[in-house]
Amino acid sequence: MTSIGTGYDLSNSVFSPDGRNFQVEYAVKAVENGGTAIGIRCKDGVVLALEKLVTSRLLKKDANKRIATVDRNIGVVHSGLLPDGRHFVSRARDEAQSWRGTYKAPIPVSSLANRMGSYVQAFTLYSSVRPFGITAIVGGWDAETDVDVDGAVGSGPKVGAGGKTKGVKEGGPYLYMIEPSGLYWGYYGAATGKGRQAAKAELEKLKLDPKDGECISLEEGVKEAARIIYVAHEDSKDKDFELEMTWISAVNGPTKGRHEEVPKALKEEAERLAKAALEGEDEDEEKMEK
């Protein structure tokens, strides 16, 4: 940050002589202080997980949910300034609703990511606004089965003109991460927030790329997500935290293509394993030292 104080970092939408937009970079700093958020794209679904730092003992436990539902099949987790995250979510919901209004069908995750990328980018263009102080991870499942258009009555012709094409298969799990600049990529595993470095290192160890053969299942993904959040929390051990996890499975999977919170039993199991894995690591380290 050599250019701090030169005046090029005082207003949004202004380039510095070396071609940087400092206000966007500062917005990224706001994200880097937030709790770790991750998303994992598994074979048969998507997991979203969040390290929720407990800032006060007076907070109600297990309330204050931060992973939001945007459409039935899409969830968003974000790290950074909380109110900016809610602004993002509320816009995403509007986009999803307006898509349904136009196309009478749910918005594909890729289209939502695209629209939200454009929206976030627009907040880097003008000096009258500031960029979003969040990085958002958008995960969802595009239905692979034939979906009726909204409001359909009856089933239409079974064969012939207007009938259904056999064997057509599309849809599946999708995961995108949108940054304060408006930049977004599709991911197999995405991480942001304070512990993103550790989380990324762990994500890279997982089998997530379909090109490398079978990638991990949704249930494995849930357990890995819990473990990664616990690992990422290690460095900032000072504060207490709550783990929040949601998932979206295939239409024939456990959530029936919907974005839901991970069931209590499974989450507790995942947390137990995560803690055990951490303790195991510590023991290993101790052994090494000996």
Q: Given the structure tokens 């034939």, which residue do they identify?
A: 146
Tell me the window of 24-32, 39-47, 168-176, 201-209 that interacts with other proteins (CB under 8 A): 24-32
Tell me the window of 57-65, 206-214, 228-236, 270-278 that interacts with other proteins (CB under 8 A): 57-65
Among 26, 186, 253, 277, binds other proteins (CB under 8 A): 26
Min CB(163)–other proteins separation in Å = 14
Q: Which of residues 107-136 bind other proteins (CB under 8 A)?
A: 123, 127-131, 133
Joined together, the tokens standing for residue 164 give: 């259904």
In the sheet that 37-42 helps form, which strands lie side by side, from edge to edge? 189-192, 37-42, 45-53, 241-249, 259-261
Contact 66, 52 (CB under 8 A): yes
By beta-carbon proximity to other proteins, the closer residue of 141 and 188 is 141
Assign residue 158 a region (left: φ > 0; alpha: ψ between -120 and 50; beta: otherwise): alpha
State the Cα–Cα distance between residues 218 and 254, nearest whole angstrom.
10
Q: Which of residues 172-211 bind other proteins (CB under 8 A)?
A: none
State the Cα–Cα distance between residues 271 and 267, nearest whole angstrom.
6
By beta-carbon proximity to other proteins, the closer residue of 23 and 171 is 23
**Residue length, the chain?**
290
Quote the distance between the C-alpha of residue 224 and its chain's center: 15
User: Residue 179 is which amino acid?
Assistant: E
By beta-carbon proximity to other proteins, the closer residue of 11 and 277 is 11
Contact 95, 88 (CB under 8 A): no
Size of the site for other proteins (CB under 8 A): 66
Using alpha carbons, select from 71, 79, 145, 144 the residue that is nearest to residue 112: 71
Min CB(286)–other proteins separation in Å = 35
Q: Is 169 in the site for other proteins (CB under 8 A)?
A: no
Among 15, 32, 145, 204, binds other proteins (CB under 8 A): 32
| Helix axis angle, 109-122 to 82-103, nearest 10° | 130
Site string for other proteins, 247-266 (x = CB under 8 A): --------x--xxxxxxx--
**What residue ranges bind other proteins (CB under 8 A)?**
1, 4-5, 9-12, 22-23, 26-33, 56-60, 63-65, 67-69, 71-72, 75, 81-84, 86-87, 90, 93, 96-97, 100-101, 104, 123, 127-131, 133, 150-155, 246, 255, 258-264
